[in-house]
Amino acid sequence: MNQTEKYLIDVAYPFWETEAEIARRFFRNNPTREQHVYWLKAQLWKELHPVDGYFTGLHRELANLVEMFPQVDRTVDRHHYHGLMEQMVQEFNHYVLQADILEYLLGRRIAAEDTIQLPEEKALGDLRRAYVAGSAVEKAAVLVTEGGGARLFREGRKLKGSVLARKIAAAMEVVYQDEKNHYREAAREAAAAVGNKRHLKTMKRAIERVSLQRVRMRNEMFQYPLSEEGVERCVAKHYRPV
């Protein structure tokens, strides 16, 4: 990891740890069945519809793979194509694992209508798309914010006790193992877009804005374990001088 990559990770780090704190507080406060249903419905929407300018949702991404297939070993490298296929399998498996938990809670088969897009999630998508449509540096910055450092899944995998807790932990373990190193790859790709100090300043600002909106999205999903002031304090607590 070079210094620019480390710098970008350090910028995002306090926001990742704030997401972790939100998840910890939610899970340790004995959430009700209805509260679990609420966050799962919101998370499932995110799994199916992460339309942000980089990723266009599972349906469109799968359609893209079908369209690309005739070009394998022509204009499309077969190893790259295989990597994209593996990513799609992983992403859909994340949806399946969490959807199974929602079905367990509801006691019935779920439908597409059981997923919900919350207002802060919509605001996050709008913000990410705006940056992706901006300069190459702003677009690259969005990569570093993706997934929140897998902190939700890191915390969820620690759950113990009830049948529900064990189901959540098992699902979160799979997602965490799949995604725990994504931030390193993202930082490496983003750092390649940095050509000077002005670029770095622009990227820092973009990472901070998108990451803060991610925190607000998680806070809403888990029905506000932190106040706005609590969010600010938690971000400040984990700040790394950069």
CA–CA separation, 169 and 176 (whole Å): 10
pLDDT band for position 51 (cuts 50, 70, 90): low
Domains: count for the chain: 1
14 belongs to a structural domain: yes
CATH of the domain at 141: 1.20.910.10
pLDDT band for position 144 (cuts 50, 70, 90): very high
- Model confidence pLDDT, tens digit, residues 29-45: 999 999 999 999 999 99
Other CB atoms within 10 A of residue 126 CB: 11
Residue 51 in 3-state DSSP? strand
Give the predicted TM-score (pTM) of the model. 0.91
46 belongs to a structural domain: yes
Q: What is the mean pLDDT of residues 55-72?
A: 84
Tokens 């959540």 belong to residue: 168
242 belongs to a structural domain: no
Does 57 have pLDDT greater than 80?
no
Tokens 């399998």 belong to residue: 89
Q: What is the pLDDT of residue 112?
A: 79
Tokens 């399946």 belong to residue: 96
CA dist list (Å): 144 to 107, 186, 197: 38, 5, 18
39 belongs to a structural domain: yes
Q: What is the pLDDT of residue 229?
A: 97
Query: 154, 170, 211, 199: which is closest to 9 by C-alpha?
Result: 211
68 belongs to a structural domain: yes
Provide the percentage of residues in the chain whose pLDDT is more than 90: 85
Does 237 have pLDDT greater than 70?
yes
CA–CA separation, 73 and 83 (whole Å): 14
80 belongs to a structural domain: yes
**How far is CA 63 from its chain centroid?**
22
Residue 152: give the domain boundaries: 3-237
- Model confidence pLDDT, tens digit, residues 180-229: 999 999 999 999 999 999 999 999 999 999 999 999 999 999 999 999 99
CA–CA separation, 116 and 46 (whole Å): 9
